Structure 1
Amino acid sequence: MSVKLAVIYYSTYGTNDQMAALAAEAARAAGAEVRLRKVQETVPESVVASVEAWKAQADKMAAIPTATADDMEWANAYLFSAPTRFGVQASQMRAFIDSLGGVWAKGGLAGKAVSAMTSAQNTHGGQEATLLSFYTTVMHWGGIVVAPGYTDQCIFKSGGNPYGYSHTMGAEFTEDDKASIAHQARRLVDIAGKLAR
């Protein structure tokens, strides 16, 4: 059985959009069938339009399909990416997760491999807490947490976060950062493939 990976993200200014795209590319190269999906914006359009950079990013992502419960049922693995807001994932991502009660109730989220990535404005802006909060939800689902751990030297070179890749907003993506994202995606595809047998 092949790996069907849903890469589901929220991005305000583009950091998580780039991370999700890099992960999706690496997962495809590893042999997974990938659906790249953004979550629904919950902030009023007038507010988004009032911030030039936010509006520009929303326009850039306009062609990316919006994540649905059907995508969650289709996939046998998930990679989430969302910015940190006060030590947990952005409310837009949380709103999507909170809409999955129907899929969860029939066991549609159980036994699937899950990994997560995040970003924040500074290096101690809550990234690890955000990733752990994702995984708390995964445990409620009965999912299988697939954190990168220290399974490759690239983890150390890109900040050393064993819970999942995290990026400082506004910083350029180095080759080490890209390698860490790709490693996390490949590891998720590998473990998901073993679970799907």
Structure 2
Amino acid sequence: MTSPKVNLAVIYYSSNGTNFQLAQWAAEGGIQAGADVKILKVPETAPQSVIDANPSWKSHLEATEHIPTVSLADLEWADAIIFSMPTRFGNLPAQLKQFIDTTGGLWFQGKLNNKVVSAMTSAQNPNAGQEQTILQLYTSMYHWGAIVAAPGFTDSSVFLAGGNPYGTSVTVDQNGVMKEDVRAAVEHQAKRTISIAKAVKSAL
């Protein structure tokens, strides 16, 4: 039997570009796995004055103006979703949380059931809450009725990237340089997510 085509939405929030890069690598992994892929950003909610005071933040937003903003229709379209976001005090950035809080209508209609979801994150310190941030997102996904596709230790790339079984995480220095080589782990996570989504879609 031919495997079904999977629609993958890679949804990210990024202020300086790290999670946009992770999203691009996840998209590449999804394409390699045969998925139809969209890279989508969540709306920026920070005051423009705050953004203007941070040159790298402002520059990144200007460089990614062409990236579509995620909509609820994109969630309906997707069979699989990969989220990428920085950690904020061990929790989701407010911008992503605000978007998730708009999904109640879809949830009520059962349109988020069985979405296959995975997540990635970044921070400036390896103990700055990366695991907790991903787990906080997954808590919301359980309420959606989604199926969480964590990478676990299913590939050597996970170990090389720092060994986060919940989702790829990366440490970024003050210059925005990633300290771990996580590209292979991100691509593996995306391919695993697509594989699970294909199985789920075939069974429904």
- In structure 1, the partner of 2:178 is 172
C-alpha distance in 1 between matches for 2:153 and 2:187: 14
CA pair 34-135 structure 1, distance change in 2 beyond 3 A: same
TM-superposed deviation, 1:192 = 0.3
TM-superposed deviation, 1:190 = 0.5
Is 2:143 aligned against 1:137? no
TM-superposed deviation, 1:173 = 6.6
Percent identity (aligned): 50
Q: Summarize deviations over 1:22-51 as a string: whole Å, max 9, x none.
A: 100110111000111000001122221121
Is 2:155 aligned against 1:149? no
For the residue of structure 2 that corresponds to 1:110, the secondary structure is coil
C-alpha distance in 2 between matches for 1:154 and 1:48: 35
The residue type paired with residue 32 of structure 2 is: A
C-alpha distance in 2 between matches for 1:172 and 1:110: 35
Is 2:40 aligned against 1:55? no
Task: Select the residue among 187, 193, 200 that pairs with 1:195.
Answer: 200
Unaligned runs of 5+ in 2: none
- In structure 1, the partner of 2:189 is 184
For the residue of structure 2 that corresponds to 1:89, the secondary structure is coil
C-alpha distance in 1 between matches for 2:152 and 2:42: 26
C-alpha distance in 2 between matches for 1:103 and 1:150: 32
Q: Summarize deviations over 1:73-130 as a string: whole Å, max 9, x none.
A: 1111100000000101111010111111111110111111100000011110000000
C-alpha distance in 1 between matches for 2:134 and 2:106: 22
TM-score using structure 1 length: 0.97
C-alpha distance in 1 between matches for 2:150 and 2:130: 14
The residue type paired with residue 55 of structure 2 is: E
TM-score using structure 2 length: 0.94
For the residue of structure 2 that corresponds to 1:138, the secondary structure is helix
- In structure 1, the partner of 2:107 is 104
For the residue of structure 2 that corresponds to 1:196, the secondary structure is helix
C-alpha distance in 1 between matches for 2:127 and 2:75: 31
TM-superposed deviation, 1:171 = 3.1
1:80-95 superposed matches below 5 A: 80-95=83-98
- In structure 2, the partner of 1:118 is 121
For the residue of structure 1 that corresponds to 2:15, the secondary structure is coil
User: For the aligned residues, what is the CA RMSD?
Assistant: 1.0
TM-superposed deviation, 1:60 = 1.0
The residue type paired with residue 181 of structure 1 is: V
C-alpha distance in 2 between matches for 1:24 and 1:92: 21
